[in-house]
Amino acid sequence: MKILIAEDDLVSRRILESRLVKWGHRVFTARDGQEAWELFNNEEFSVVITDWMMPGLDGVELVRRIRSSRPSGYVYTILITAKQQKKDLLEAMEAGADDFITKPFDKDELHVRLRAGERIIELEQNLAGRNRDLNIANERMSRDLEAASGIQRSLLPARAPDVSGFNFSWKFKPCEVLAGDFLNIFPLDESHVGLYVLDVSGHGVPAALLSVTLSRLLSPNPHQSILLKKQPDSKDYTPVSPADVVLQLNNQFQFDPGTGQFFTLLYGILNTLNGEFGFVSAGHPGLAHIPVNSDPVILTSPGFPIGFPDSEKEEYAENLIQLNSGDRLYIYSDGITEAKNADNELFWENRLIESLSQNSHLTLDDSLTALLETLAGWRGDEEYDDDITIIALERE
């Protein structure tokens, strides 16, 4: 090992140096604490053996400076002292001393102390190496997660559909790098727009993988989607009803006791010719309806989550809403209504309806921004425990 000796007594210094060199160590010597400190700043040492009582910079202060300097590797420090008082030893330990040798020192004791220091330094080096490997792995994983997050976000609608007489908007705030929530808005044909919000149980990679799989099935691409069916003897496709979509998903994603994964979904189809909106909910929170000429309401639809125990027995009923001019609909995940404040109180649907109603004079997108600002203010924190997902539509 590379060892630094700080000892103002010439005889003691030379004896120490001779012993350490004989044992195969590389040794540097200093006549006092200040000289030792200067050497320490210019070289890397594994062990520092220092006398306690020295003129100028004493041994305890030297140890304190070494600890404060935070060198790249652990430096094992041994104080040579004739002091035996408990308060003195506590002072040295608080400064960062690892061990003590009593003056006059015994060579066998010194050898044993150094062997102990070697073991500690070796353990520290092994730990540092493993931490470096772990940091490299974590950095690689973080890059992979960020890349996966980018792919997941690329599947979100790039912009709201341009449909005469209707406006659309959405907000998506995952609580982790990857989200279990997902949403989409897309034209199904010239007179129908499909939109959904889904919420996979759990968070992180497993939830995100299932949500991406579902997003491919619930896409407007007729070659991979379950939302469109080809007409016999024709190249045309027609929308599949929301009830049949949910039924197909329920047949395909049955309860798996190995993973316990399930998901909720609210899928609806807007008829852009007459303003009718038909939807089905599979265990998903209700739909917020903010009409112009009547009171706001949460519309619920019974139904088990998909992949839930016994959900294969479920029959899903379709609901129909007539949207009039100025009416708004909001489809959201439970990350909003089940968000909690510092008092462990739920935001719940009453606060959701209150915010959306009070901000109905704003543009559709601004009403969503105002909702999230209200939610963050109520929570006292912009970091969430669950994904925040919401779609809004408005008939002009």
Q: Splitting the chain (396 residues) into consecutive groups of 10 residues, what average pLDDT does each group show?
A: 92 91 93 93 92 89 89 87 77 86 85 90 88 87 75 79 95 82 93 95 83 90 89 86 93 83 95 97 94 92 82 80 97 93 92 95 96 92 82 97
The pLDDT score that the predictor gives to residue 73 is 83
Task: Give pairs for 65-72: CB < 8 Å, separation 24+.
Answer: 65/37, 66/40, 66/96, 67/95, 67/96, 69/40, 69/41, 71/44, 72/44
The pLDDT score that the predictor gives to residue 312 is 64
The pLDDT score that the predictor gives to residue 57 is 92
Of 231, 159, 250, the residue nearest 189 (C-alpha): 231
How far apart are alpha carbons 242 and 268 in whole angstroms? 6
The pLDDT score that the predictor gives to residue 23 is 92
The pLDDT score that the predictor gives to residue 159 is 86
The pLDDT score that the predictor gives to residue 311 is 64
Report the run of H or E that residue 127 belongs to, with start and end: helix 107-154
251-278 pLDDT, tens digit per residue, is 899 878 878 889 999 999 999 999 999 9
CB of 243 closer than 8 Å to CB of 280: yes
How many CB atoms sit inside 10 A of residue 115's CB?
11
- In this structure, the strands spanning 47-51 and 2-6 are parallel
Of 57, 67, 58, the residue nearest 96 (C-alpha): 67
Map out the domains of the chain with their CATH numbers.
2-128 (3.40.50.2300), 159-395 (3.60.40.10)
The pLDDT score that the predictor gives to residue 17 is 92
Of 158, 174, 277, the residue nearest 220 (C-alpha): 158
Of 356, 167, 363, the residue nearest 275 (C-alpha): 167
How far apart are alpha carbons 232 and 316 in whole angstroms? 26
